[in-house]
Amino acid sequence: MPTPVAKNSGAIPTTLASPGALRFWLAVVLIGTSTGLAAAALTRLLEVVQRIVWRGSGTNILQAASQAGAYRHIGVLLAAGVLTGVGQFILKQLSSGNGIDTTAAIWFYAGRMPALRTLGSAVLSIFAVGMGASMGREGAPKQAGAVFANFFADAEDLSDEQRRLLVACGAGAGMGAAYGVPVGGALFALEVMRGKLALRYVLPALFASLIATAVSWVGLPDARTYSIPSFPLSASVILWAILAAPIFSLGAILYVRLVRWADKNKPHGWQRFIAPTVVLGVLGIVSVRYPQILGNGKDLSQLLFAGQIGVRVVLALLLLKPLATIMCMRSGVPGGLFTPSLTFGALLGATLGHAWSALWPGVPAGYFALLGAGAVLSATTQGPISAVVLVMELTGRDRSFILPLMLIAAISTLISRSIDNRSIYDARMSDEQIAARQKLREHESGDIGIPQ
């Protein structure tokens, strides 16, 4: 594990004429380009893995798993568990100490992360998610972007302040390229990863995410992630958003605390081989009846947004899907939490929406699921602005649901932040680190801080 290193305090160049601007902006371009290529390669690898193990089209794990027999479900997930255990053992040998979470690296290690172990974990997560582990696929391109940012910061001999920003930009560019959301990726880098919406940070984040997304489109389709209709605005939706927001806040707080519990209790020693095999084996058994719990949740969310899942199945998945994600993380399976959090919100929104429709019918079930996804995503990331923009870009919609989405995201985040200011991205931090980060924010001058 790298140790905190102090370096020259070169500021972020605000113009092309600023000292060191050429080296800094060259690094931004290289980070965006390399992250976009990595995101495209990792996404294609995920599709290849899914196609081979599930014998499907490679893009819809739910459809392929629904057509597979019970023995394939159990066999594939057991194999994923064994692969995870062996992979984690190998990764442990690549660097001394433990790996560093990207958020902690930005705040306490000037963005420095062990390159081989981080990239290895990214690739391992792709195999695990492709084989059905209930984790997010965006973790891999985010990690790749952070590693490339480190590499080019070293190559250009940039300062610690510049490195911190570029690592956040690399992670956001990975998000943008993975889902085709350049603006959301940039805001994610600033609001969630760096915790600042300062003017001098905006352009590097935008350029890195824009370049990465554009480059990824060379190998990936330029298409929206979720297809939804144009939902009409109504008094029923507005009132539901206000009344339901506190429930989403509490759900998000519980989810974040479970994420923290899972991270703090990951297996050690010989348990690293046993835990993922047992957990993923059980996941395989349960998935025979509920294939929707497999993968990152993208296909499940699409069905929820389209209102194509019955109430009984929604209620079962509201428990099973987040439990699958938490237990996968608890067993040591690497992966992201973005899409699993979004899916949990969609399930909770669909559940509350069905109850509301019994009292005030007329609103499509998918509308509630979409707003729930935005509410939980906002509260679990502690990033309401990026969450709203990400939902808009992921769906390709602009105005049809923007008012209730902004309303429920703002209320949910305000309530959750008032109770517990942790997000899913700083769940690995100790209370001492959270306090230290707050002090660092208070000492940074000239920026608009985003408290978390």
**Per-residue model confidence (pLDDT) at position 443:** 65
As a whole number of Å, the CA-based R_g of the chain is 21
Burial class of residue 192 (count of CB atoms within 10 Å of its CB; 0-12, 13-18, 19+): buried
Residues of the chain with CATH 1.10.3080.10: 21-216, 235-443
**Per-residue model confidence (pLDDT) at position 194:** 84
Q: Which CATH number fits domain 21-216: 1.10.3080.10, 2.40.40.20, 1.20.1090.10, 1.10.3720.10?
A: 1.10.3080.10
**Per-residue model confidence (pLDDT) at position 234:** 92
| CA gap 103, 267 in Å, rounded | 22
Look up the CATH number of domain 235-443: 1.10.3080.10
Structural contact between residues 136 and 332, judged by C-beta atoms closer than 8 angstroms: no
User: 416: which 2 tokens?
Assistant: 């959750």
**Per-residue model confidence (pLDDT) at position 20:** 85
Structural contact between residues 283 and 134, judged by C-beta atoms closer than 8 angstroms: yes
**Per-residue model confidence (pLDDT) at position 144:** 95
pLDDT along the chain (452 residues), means of 10: 48 83 94 96 94 82 91 96 92 67 82 89 95 93 94 91 93 94 93 83 94 92 86 93 97 96 90 94 96 94 94 96 96 94 97 95 94 97 94 85 94 94 84 74 52 40
Bridge partners (DSSP) listed for residue 136: 336
**Per-residue model confidence (pLDDT) at position 96:** 55
DSSP string, 290-340: -GGGSSSSHHHHHHHHTT-S-HHHHHHHHHHHHHHHHHHHHTT---BSHHH
> What is the number of other CB atoms lying within 10 angstroms of the CB of residue 282?
17
Nearest to 13 by CA among 30, 27, 2: 27
366-404: burial string, b at 16+ Cβ within 10 Å, e else = bbbbbbbbbbbbbbbbbbbbbbbbbbbbbbebeebbeeb
The secondary structure element, H or E, covering residue 71 is helix 70-94
The gap from C-alpha 143 to its chain's centroid, in whole angstroms, comes to 11
Nearest to 204 by CA among 10, 16, 39, 34: 16
Nearest to 135 by CA among 10, 36, 53, 46: 46
**Per-residue model confidence (pLDDT) at position 57:** 67
Structural contact between residues 337 and 244, judged by C-beta atoms closer than 8 angstroms: no
| CA gap 303, 388 in Å, rounded | 20
> Which residue spans within 49-95 are E strands per DSSP?
none
Structural contact between residues 177 and 141, judged by C-beta atoms closer than 8 angstroms: yes
**Per-residue model confidence (pLDDT) at position 444:** 61
